[in-house]
Amino acid sequence: MAGQITFEPDDRYNAFLATCKTATHGSGKLAGVAVAVKDNISTQGIETTCASKILKGYIPPYDAHAVGLLRASGAAIVGKTNMDEFGMGTTTENSAFGPTLNPCDTGRVPGGSSGGSAAAVAAGMARMALGTDTGGSIRCPAAFCGIVGLKPSYGRVSRYGLIAYSNSLEQIGPMAKTVKDVSDLMGVIAGYDRHDSTSRDKPYAHTPSADVKGLRIGIPQEYFGAGVDAGVASVVKSAIGKLEELGATTVPCSIPSMEYALAAYYVTCTCEASSNLARFDGVRYGPAADTKKSWHDAYQEVRRDGFGPEVRRRIMLGTFALSSGYYGKYYAKAQIARENVRNDFNRIFADVDVIAGPTMPTIAFKLKEKSDPLSMYLADILTVPANLAGIPAISVPCGKSEGMPVGLQIMGRTFEDERVIDVAYAYEQAVN
Amino acid sequence: MADADGQVIVGLEVHCQLDTKSKLFCGCSTDYRSDGANTHVCPICLGLPGAMPALNKKAIQYAMRVAKALNCEILDESEFSRKNYFYPDLDKAYQITQYDKPLAEGGYLEIESDEGGEKRVRITRVHVEEDPGRLVHMGNVERGKYSLVDYNRAGIPLIEIVSEPDMRSPKEARKFLNKLRATLEYLSVFDSEKEGSLRVDANISITGSERVEVKNITSYKGVEKALTFEVTRQKNLIRRGQKIERETRHFLEARGVTQAGRSKETENDYRYFPEPDLRPLRVKSWVEDIVLPELPDARRERFIKEYACSLNHARTLTGELKLANFFEQVVAADRQGLSSLASTWIADTLIGELNYRDMGIDRIDAAGFTGLVRILKEGTITDKSGIEILRVMLDQRQKGEPIETAAGIVKRLNLAKTSGDAGAITTAIEEAINENPKALEDYRNGKAGALNFLVGQVMKKTRGKADPGELNRLLLEALKAREA
Amino acid sequence: MVSEKDVQHIAELADIGIIPEELGTFTHQFNAILEYFDTLDRVPGDTTFTRDLYNVLREDVVEPSLPHEEVLRNASAKEDGFIKAPRVM
């Protein structure tokens, strides 16, 4: 039934950058469901900033493909959510418009970069949300805020309209409190789009099943190593134990390419970002370039003033890594490393159906705790392999450690998002 | 060792707009020239955040046609890359082009060499890329200078054809360019009349000296001019003992000179990497299905064989697709009878008259021209009258007046030959001699040109209608008679 | 190891504008990260890539362009239908 809903939330967590006070909606599968959209996804007529000053005031003249599908399903788009600027971060503290707070503990971060979407869902302000995941940006905040978040297989959800950070790694994905809602939202947004040349003809039409009898689960030693907090590891192991009770078998395995997976990730994403973000020159959109200055002076000024330090750092890293003489050492090597990660997963998936482990090595950090960029990057170690390989990965809440939510991560073979959803569903149904 | 008399070495990089209906990566129409700025633009070619490219199959097919015609090898796998640099007309701050895996490599194009025969200019590579937008520079010192950008052109498909440095003179460069242009026209992938549809960068050096790049040459004539200027400039520097710097220069068409560019340009680090939003191409097998039309060289040979054209005429006529088509249309009804006259008159006269009026071959009606050729064949008018008739027809076309037939003009202007009317000629001859006593004097003193002068005077009086052979005979008789 | 001068040069190459007060910290962070990137040196030099998607192409069909006003809407400076940009010297 078409209609409209009123949306005037008490956004004490700073989850939203823009809200639609009256959100109209059509009829369809998600008729009237309040859905929040991460602010790096283009929404026609609604300001889209990527949480950056350099896009303040930008109003896209078109909808992202996934947003169009959302509207067609009858969903009510209630607002645009806060994020780390251009997706660069693991805490949403890199937003130019203030951090989002974790509804479970406002002294802590909600995770990133889809922190606003996670907080909006966790706090009950929106039933569902769209996030994006380049190196863990859906799964990390899902884990930190205690909700469900899926990074689909690469190519299953169109990227047309997603303001690019790292084209070869990122996907738009569904976030919600329950696996069923995540699955329903996935059903709406997945499918082929002729505007996205990396898009696959793999529509999603699945009802989650809780049957995991006979399922073989790989447990990688690298996911329970020294870098993972003992409390987190313990909670996740119990969760996996639950799956065993339900009829699954666990098999130890190893992903040797994890050794350089994070380096491969950061080289790839910074290189692609340095190219993707070069278009923001204040000429066609964004805060005005000073036309009284010369081109290069004006361009530098726009970028210096419009991008935050983390964005500028990554652009410089990427520029350096692509510069003359370094391409072979960095970007080319990173693609080989990715192929090795893919091969490792293929080898493991010949023997098991899914891989399980913690989503994040710790619980949510305290605000301002991660001030050093490199130590922040290292927190992505458990999430980036799925992006490098393009495989589906979900985070489902599996308990608490030190009072904060912990996420269980399930990864599956390429295009077996349905199976990954099923395993998460089985666990969720068993404990609720 | 720099040598002012050393060999001139030229290589060309030619960019041509492919004549597809939509742009390379989006559905915007390519027919933008008569429309206002920024009216053929969409999120993709405007480079809006989040937009993604979708590759036009026709552009690849056209490029493959060109590659095949140039005898190139299509690569098993080719891909697009990003060429990153910052400029207001490049709205994504990168150009999607092809870098280390182009569509095709290693071919050749045959041209007429300076020595007279045919030579092969090798083709290094053929690839596809997008055109940037168009920048207009505005303002002045008082109001402040700024630029205006029109993105209509952004995303137009370009084919880039790179030659080896096999040309040895500005003339050979022009021949290469003309041959390439004709080939692309014959393939129906390129419209050379569209303004700005072709751009050339040239690399030129004298043996022993550094290479200079000349960018931004946008006309065929411009290429020869720019290179001729460069040869002179470089040779002069060498003679003065100065070193040629390796640099990039710009061609200023209006002044016919090249000018040093900003040095920053030559140090651009484009940070190429494969375009992650596009998938690689594996299209080598498509080559088999490409059926090439008759190309310029084959058509030239056919004109020589079927129409008994001379090599030079055949070269000229087949040098432009429309011209070759025009010729064949003109002689269609009577190939044997008309081709000799038609080829001569088109190649030696019509083209010149059209160029003079800045008119294209498509402004003249083939049937009308055929009429003129027929009359010339009948021999009822002189060549001079033929030229006059042609000029009348072209002028009428240019002014937008109704165009008469050749026969009609003959009648109206009374141009039929006055051969056999010896009386009229004799009168004219007597008048001419009487009016020009000095010429008679010069003739008697054996001065060259005096006879021609008198012939000219008689021609004028007979309005060109006198049969030249008869005129000469009668004039000589008359002059002889006066000797006595 | 990159120096502050190198970082300055990279900032110029990227036309990114670095704030002088940041230079020291940036350089320090840069080096730490680049050192971490060096783990890639351990990756063997070559591999065959498995790709299963080629030849993604569309037909040469004209589709509507954006209305002229939409093209200009987000631009801060325009003139006579053109978009105004700082001058290129």
Cβ–Cβ under 8 Å, residues A138 and A114: yes
What span, in angstroms and rounded, lies between the C-alpha atoms of B167 and B174?
Answer: 10
Instruction: Look at residue B95 in the predicted model and tell me its pLDDT.
Output: 98
CA A284, A285, A286, A287 dihedral sign is positive
Exposure string over A276-291, b if 16+ CB within 10 A, otherwise e = bbbbbbbbbbbbebeb
Centre a 10 Å sphere on the Cβ of residue B384 and count the other Cβ atoms it contains: 15
Tens digits of residue pLDDT in A24-55: 999 999 999 999 999 999 999 999 999 999 99
Tens digits of residue pLDDT in B44-59: 999 999 999 999 999 9
Q: For residue B135, list chain C residues with Cβ-Cβ distance below 8 A.
A: 85, 88
Contact between chains at B58 and C51 (C-beta distance less than 8 A): no
Point out the residues of A that are catalytic: 38, 113, 137
Q: For residue C61, list chain B residues with Cβ-Cβ distance below 8 A.
A: 21-22, 27
Q: A282 pLDDT exceeds 70?
A: yes
**Hey, is the C-beta of A160 within 8 angstroms of any chain B C-beta?**
yes
- How many beta-carbon pairs below 8 A join chains A and C? 154
What span, in angstroms and rounded, lies between the C-alpha atoms of B97 and B273?
Answer: 10
Instruction: Look at residue B216 in the predicted model and tell me its pLDDT.
Output: 83
Helix axes C4-13, A309-322, angle to 10 degrees: 90
Residues A237-259, mean pLDDT to the nearest whole number:
97
Of all residues in chain A, the percent with pLDDT exceeding 90 is: 95
Question: Who among B59, B86, B150 is closest to C82 (CB)?
Answer: B150
Collapsed DSSP state (helix, strand, coil) of residue B287: helix
Pairing assessment for the beta strands B94-97 and B81-84 based on DSSP bridges? antiparallel
Q: For residue C23, list chain A residues with Cβ-Cβ distance below 8 A.
A: none
Contact between chains at C57 and B56 (C-beta distance less than 8 A): yes
What span, in angstroms and rounded, lies between the C-alpha atoms of A417 and C24?
Answer: 45
Calculate how close chain B gets to A195, using CA atoms only, in Å: 6
Question: Who among A58, A315, A321 is closest to C16 (CB)?
Answer: A315
E strand or H helix at A190? none
Residues B353-366, mean pLDDT to the nearest whole number:
91
**CB neighbour list of residue A274: distance below 8 Å, 6 or more residues apart:** A314, A315, A316, A317, A318, A319, A321, A322, B84, B271, C14
Cβ–Cβ under 8 Å, residues A79 and A54: no
HSE-CB of A69 using CA atoms within 13 angstroms: 24
Token pair recorded at residue A37: 């959209």
Pairing assessment for the beta strands A393-401 and A249-253 based on DSSP bridges? unpaired
**Which of C9, C57, C68, C76 would best serve as a mutation to test chain B binding (most B beta carbons within 10 A)?**
C57
Instruction: Look at residue B412 in the predicted model and tell me its pLDDT.
Output: 87
Centre a 10 Å sphere on the Cβ of residue C69 and count the other Cβ atoms it contains: 9
Calculate how close chain A gets to C60, using CA atoms only, in Å: 14
What band does B470 get if pLDDT is binned at 50, 70 and 90?
A: confident
For residue B228, the Cα-to-chain-centroid distance in whole angstroms is 17
Calculate how close chain A gets to C47, using CA atoms only, in Å: 6
**Which of A283, A372, A381 would best serve as a mutation to test chain C binding (most C beta carbons within 10 A)?**
A283
What band does A324 get if pLDDT is binned at 50, 70 and 90?
A: confident
Contact between chains at C60 and B22 (C-beta distance less than 8 A): yes
E strand or H helix at B68? helix B57-69
Q: A17 pLDDT exceeds 90?
A: yes
Instruction: Look at residue B479 in the predicted model and tell me its pLDDT.
Output: 85
Instruction: Look at residue B403 in the predicted model and tell me its pLDDT.
Output: 86
Instruction: Look at residue B320 in the predicted model and tell me its pLDDT.
Output: 93
Question: Who among A198, A323, A330 is closest to C40 (CB)?
Answer: A330
Q: B343 pLDDT exceeds 80?
A: yes
The DSSP letter of residue A330 is I
Q: B265 pLDDT exceeds 60?
A: no
Contact between chains at C55 and B41 (C-beta distance less than 8 A): no
Residues B19-41, mean pLDDT to the nearest whole number:
97
Centre a 10 Å sphere on the Cβ of residue B483 and count the other Cβ atoms it contains: 8
The DSSP letter of residue B65 is H
Residue A392 one-letter amino acid: P
E strand or H helix at A355? strand A354-358
Cβ–Cβ under 8 Å, residues A328 and A350: no
Instruction: Look at residue A229 in the predicted model and tell me its pLDDT.
Output: 96
Question: Who among B93, B273, B277 is closest to A197 (CB)?
Answer: B277
Domain count, chain A: 1
Maximum Cα interatomic distance, chain B, rounded to a whole number of Å: 98
Instruction: Look at residue B410 in the predicted model and tell me its pLDDT.
Output: 87
Calculate how close chain A gets to C68, using CA atoms only, in Å: 11
Contact between chains at A295 and B88 (C-beta distance less than 8 A): yes
Instruction: Name the residue range of residue A261's domain.
Output: 1-432
Q: For residue A262, list chain C residues with Cβ-Cβ distance below 8 A.
A: 36
Instruction: Look at residue C51 in the predicted model and tell me its pLDDT.
Output: 81
Exposure string over B346-371, b if 16+ CB within 10 A, otherwise e = bbeebbebbeeeeeebeebebebbbb
Contact between chains at C62 and B21 (C-beta distance less than 8 A): yes
Residue labelled with tokens 């469901």: A33
For residue B345, the Cα-to-chain-centroid distance in whole angstroms is 19
Contact between chains at C62 and B29 (C-beta distance less than 8 A): yes
Calculate how close chain A gets to B12, using CA atoms only, in Å: 25
CA A357, A361, A367, A371 dihedral sign is negative
Collapsed DSSP state (helix, strand, coil) of residue B460: helix
Residues A50-62, mean pLDDT to the nearest whole number:
98
Instruction: Look at residue B267 in the predicted model and tell me its pLDDT.
Output: 63
Residue A111 one-letter amino acid: G
What span, in angstroms and rounded, lies between the C-alpha atoms of A294 and B146?
Answer: 8
- Of A62-76, A399-413, C43-57, where does mean pLDDT reach its minimum? C43-57
Reported residue count of chain B is 484
Question: Who among C15, C81, C85 is closest to B88 (CB)?
Answer: C85
Instruction: Look at residue B465 in the predicted model and tell me its pLDDT.
Output: 77
Is A21 buried (19+), middle (13-18) or exposed (0-12) by CB count in 10 A?
exposed
Chain B touching partners, 3 or more CB pairs below 8 A: A, C
Cβ–Cβ under 8 Å, residues A39 and A51: yes
Contact between chains at A168 and B276 (C-beta distance less than 8 A): yes
Residue labelled with tokens 């440095």: B165
E strand or H helix at B106? strand B104-112
E strand or H helix at B249? strand B247-252
The DSSP letter of residue B246 is P
What span, in angstroms and rounded, lies between the C-alpha atoms of A245 and A362?
Answer: 26
**Hey, is the C-beta of A316 within 8 angstroms of any chain C C-beta?**
yes
Residues B418-425, mean pLDDT to the nearest whole number:
66
Token pair recorded at residue B300: 């030239």
Predicted-complex ipTM score:
0.96
Q: A418 pLDDT exceeds 80?
A: yes
Collapsed DSSP state (helix, strand, coil) of residue A66: helix
Least Cα distance to A12 among A88, A90, A87, A110 occurs for A110
What span, in angstroms and rounded, lies between the C-alpha atoms of B300 and B327?
Answer: 12
Q: For residue B43, list chain A residues with Cβ-Cβ distance below 8 A.
A: 60-62
Token pair recorded at residue A347: 């080898």
Calculate how close chain C gets to B230, using CA atoms only, in Å: 24
What band does B142 get if pLDDT is binned at 50, 70 and 90?
A: low
Maximum Cα interatomic distance, chain A, rounded to a whole number of Å: 70
Calculate how close chain C gets to B133, using CA atoms only, in Å: 11
What span, in angstroms and rounded, lies between the C-alpha atoms of B253 and B158?
Answer: 22
The DSSP letter of residue B15 is E
Question: Who among C19, C40, C88 is closest to A337 (CB)?
Answer: C40
What span, in angstroms and rounded, lies between the C-alpha atoms of A101 and A115?
Answer: 8
**Hey, is the C-beta of C1 within 8 angstroms of any chain A C-beta?**
no
**CB neighbour list of residue B463: distance below 8 Å, 6 or more residues apart:** B414, B415
Residues B433-458, mean pLDDT to the nearest whole number:
88
Centre a 10 Å sphere on the Cβ of residue A219 and count the other Cβ atoms it contains: 18
Q: B264 pLDDT exceeds 70?
A: no
Q: B420 pLDDT exceeds 60?
A: no
**Hey, is the C-beta of C38 within 8 angstroms of any chain B C-beta?**
no
Calculate how close chain B gets to A197, using CA atoms only, in Å: 6
Its pTM stands at 0.92
Chain A touching partners, 3 or more CB pairs below 8 A: B, C
Residue A255, domain CATH: 3.90.1300.10
Collapsed DSSP state (helix, strand, coil) of residue B10: strand
Q: B263 pLDDT exceeds 60?
A: no
Q: A411 pLDDT exceeds 60?
A: yes
Residue A48: closest C-alpha in chain B: B49
Rounded to the nearest 5°, which phi and psi values hold at B27?
Answer: -90, 5
What band does B418 get if pLDDT is binned at 50, 70 and 90?
A: low
Q: For residue B36, list chain C residues with Cβ-Cβ distance below 8 A.
A: 68, 81
Helix extents (H) in A20-128: 65-72, 115-122
Q: For residue C58, list chain B residues with Cβ-Cβ distance below 8 A.
A: 54-57
Instruction: Look at residue C55 in the predicted model and tell me its pLDDT.
Output: 97
Least Cα distance to A139 among A106, A179, A111 occurs for A111
**CB neighbour list of residue B254: distance below 8 Å, 6 or more residues apart:** none
Instruction: Look at residue B382 in the predicted model and tell me its pLDDT.
Output: 86
**CB neighbour list of residue A422: distance below 8 Å, 6 or more residues apart:** A208, A209, A210, A211, A212
Contact between chains at C29 and A295 (C-beta distance less than 8 A): no
What span, in angstroms and rounded, lies between the C-alpha atoms of A385 and A265?
Answer: 8
Starting from the edge strand earliest in sequence, which strands make up the sheet with C82-86, in order?
B134-140, B144-150, C82-86, C78-79
What band does A321 get if pLDDT is binned at 50, 70 and 90?
A: very high
Q: B464 pLDDT exceeds 80?
A: no
Residues A118-124, mean pLDDT to the nearest whole number:
98
Token pair recorded at residue B133: 């937008």
Q: B423 pLDDT exceeds 80?
A: no
Tens digits of residue pLDDT in C33-78: 999 999 999 898 777 787 889 999 999 999 999 999 999 999 999 9
When the pLDDT of each residue in chain B is averaged and rounded to a whole number, the result is 91
Least Cα distance to A342 among A387, A410, A389, A381 occurs for A389
Cβ–Cβ under 8 Å, residues A224 and A74: no
Instruction: Look at residue A242 in the predicted model and tell me its pLDDT.
Output: 98
Of all residues in chain B, the percent with pLDDT exceeding 90 is: 66
Question: Who among C11, C42, C89 is closest to A294 (CB)?
Answer: C89
Q: For residue B138, list chain C residues with Cβ-Cβ distance below 8 A.
A: 79, 87
Collapsed DSSP state (helix, strand, coil) of residue A101: coil
E strand or H helix at B408? helix B406-412
Q: For residue B53, list chain A residues with Cβ-Cβ distance below 8 A.
A: 197
Number of H helices, E strands in chain A: 12, 13
Question: Who among A263, A295, A304 is closest to C40 (CB)?
Answer: A263
Contact between chains at A266 and C37 (C-beta distance less than 8 A): yes
- Of A108-112, A127-131, B124-128, B136-140, where does mean pLDDT reach its minimum? B136-140
Cβ–Cβ under 8 Å, residues B382 and B465: yes
CA–CA–CA angle A311, A137, A135 (5° rounding): 75
Tens digits of residue pLDDT in B201-227: 999 999 989 999 999 898 888 999 999
Q: DSSP assignment of A388-401, as one string?
A: HHT--EEEEEEEEE
Which domains are delineated in chain B?
Answer: 8-274+285-289 (no CATH), 296-412 (no CATH), 422-483 (1.10.10.410)
**Hey, is the C-beta of C87 within 8 angstroms of any chain B C-beta?**
yes
**Hey, is the C-beta of A161 within 8 angstroms of any chain B C-beta?**
yes
Instruction: Look at residue B422 in the predicted model and tell me its pLDDT.
Output: 62
Least Cα distance to A13 among A91, A89, A104, A76 occurs for A104
Which residues 90-119 on chain B approach chain C with CB closer than 8 angstroms? Answer: none
**Hey, is the C-beta of A167 within 8 angstroms of any chain B C-beta?**
yes
For residue A222, give Cα distances in angstroms to A344, A385, A396, A402, B45. 13, 11, 20, 23, 45
Q: For residue B39, list chain C residues with Cβ-Cβ distance below 8 A.
A: 65, 68, 71, 81
Contact between chains at B43 and A58 (C-beta distance less than 8 A): no
